[in-house]
Amino acid sequence: MESLLGKVSKGKVIDENDQFYFVQLEDVKTYRLDKKEIKKPLKQGSFFSGFAYENVNHELQITREAPDIRVGRFGWAKVVRVRRDLGVFVDIGLPNKDIVVSLDELSTENRLWPNMGDRLLVRITVDNKNRMWAKLADDSVFRALAQRANTAMTNKNVSATAYRLKIVGTIVFTDDFYVGFIHPSERNEEPRLGEQLTARVIKVQQDGSLNLSLKPRGYEAIGDDAAMVLALLEHSSEHSLNLNDHSDPVEIKKTLGISKGQFKRALGHLLKVGIINQTDEGIELKSED
């Protein structure tokens, strides 16, 4: 007979004690139902529908508060515990049971395993020993859920979760239902499975997926001195300053409060990231175009 674990099923109340009702489901097994869940007492012989599972003490239990994640139904689950010999435990919403994602589904490199607080898209499966497991969604599930992005998203920030780790890069799913790809050159370190990231859209592909970067924009990565010069340019009415790398050190110190060496390093950074132009008269902010 097919297992009822991980599913919503209907059964008959056949007994009770001080703490539990006992509900017999169609597989003829008896499941305990915590009386704290029930506002109006149940009579023997009445019927009850709920989510069937095996609790942390390996007892069959049924609950009225059925989780969204079930057999055949995917949902996001938070990682609550990591065991290197078994896998990672996720919370699917049961009162006394976390479900394991098997180490067989995880990377051979432990540093790429999810940490506590990361999240995974999973569904419930039951093996031939009647054990419940959390099964990771594969790429086809994410592609089916995804919508097509348009070019207006270029240079936008997105929040995303890493769901597939490959040699060629990291594949993520954004909170807005887009599939994204992060090339190794667009990150400083490889994300973990289930890690939640903030990324920047650098290209929208023809199929509507996104190319993303985890590296900051040039102006976001600049130092304090360069940021100060940039702020002065942005707030100037002409978006310019009558200073350049040939200016007198005294004038630079008087205007900016930094040395000429600091000023030249700041200029070099701003020129490198393409934010400013330098002229004979000074420096100016590049136009948006």
Q: Whole-structure pTM over 0.85, yes or no? A: no
Element of type H or E holding 211: strand 210-213
Residue that the structure tokens 């994410």 belong to: 142
Instruction: Give CA–CA dist 94/109, Å, rounded.
Output: 30
Exposure class string for 244-273: b at 16+ Cβ within 10 A, else e: beebeeeebeeebebebebbbebbebbeeb
Tens-digit pLDDT profile for residues 174-193: 999 999 999 999 998 999 99
Task: With CA atoms as reference, report the closest residue to 90 among 65, 60, 68.
Answer: 68
Query: Which of the two residues, 134 and 26, has the higher pLDDT score?
Result: 134
Q: Which residues contact 220 (CB under 8 A, 6 or more apart)?
A: none
Residue that the structure tokens 């990361």 belong to: 118
Tens-digit pLDDT profile for residues 2-20: 899 999 999 999 999 999 9
Is the predicted pLDDT of residue 221 greater than 70, yes or no? no
Give the domains, in start order, of the chain with CATH numbers: 8-63 (2.40.50.330), 75-137 (2.40.50.140), 147-213 (2.40.50.140), 221-285 (1.10.10.10)
Instruction: Give CA–CA dist 137/40, Å, rounded.
Output: 39
Looking at residue 224, its pLDDT comes to 81
